[in-house]
């Protein structure tokens, strides 16, 4: 008598299906809980690590220091612009700068230097 192969059942037995449903249900419960535990442990570690809140505070202080420096430099630029405009507009200002900063004198003037005691 020839042996005919058995056809695989289309439906799994009820016990196997119930076991699979239970394991999927447990999986759906434990995976989020495990992620929550890992997150709860890692977030405080990241916050209090040297690259966490301490670095954030340091960067904030540096940003504030740089903002103060920028304001100071903007005031200096404005002062220099006013001074440059005054020099361009007034011949007496040009003469004052030439005398005070460059040490220039007129051809008709005589320079007398005194020795410091």
What is the pLDDT, as a whole number, of residue 6? 63
pLDDT(37) > 60: yes
Three-state secondary structure of 31-67? HHHHHHHHHHHHHHHHHCCCCCHHHHHHHHHHHHHHH
Average pLDDT for 2-31 = 60
Average pLDDT for 78-105 = 84
Per-residue buried b or exposed e for 69-92, using 16+ beta carbons within 10 Å of the residue's own CB: eeeeeeeeeeeeeeeeeeeeeeee
Task: Please tell me whether the overall predicted TM-score, pTM, comes out greater than 0.75 for this model.
Answer: no
């Amino acid at each position: 008598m020839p042996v005919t192969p058995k056809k695989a059942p289309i439906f799994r037995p009820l016990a196997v299906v119930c076991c699979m449903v239970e394991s999927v249900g447990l999986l759906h419960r434990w995976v989020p809980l495990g992620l929550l535990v890992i997150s709860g442990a890692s977030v405080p570690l990241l916050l209090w690590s040297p690259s966490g809140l301490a670095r954030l505070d340091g960067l904030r202080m540096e940003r504030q220091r740089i903002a103060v420096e920028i304001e100071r430099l903007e005031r200096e630029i404005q002062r220099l612009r006013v001074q440059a405009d005054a020099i361009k507009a007034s011949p007496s200002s040009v003469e004052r700068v030439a005398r005070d900063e460059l040490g220039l004198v007129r051809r008709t003037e005589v320079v007398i230097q005194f020795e410091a005691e």
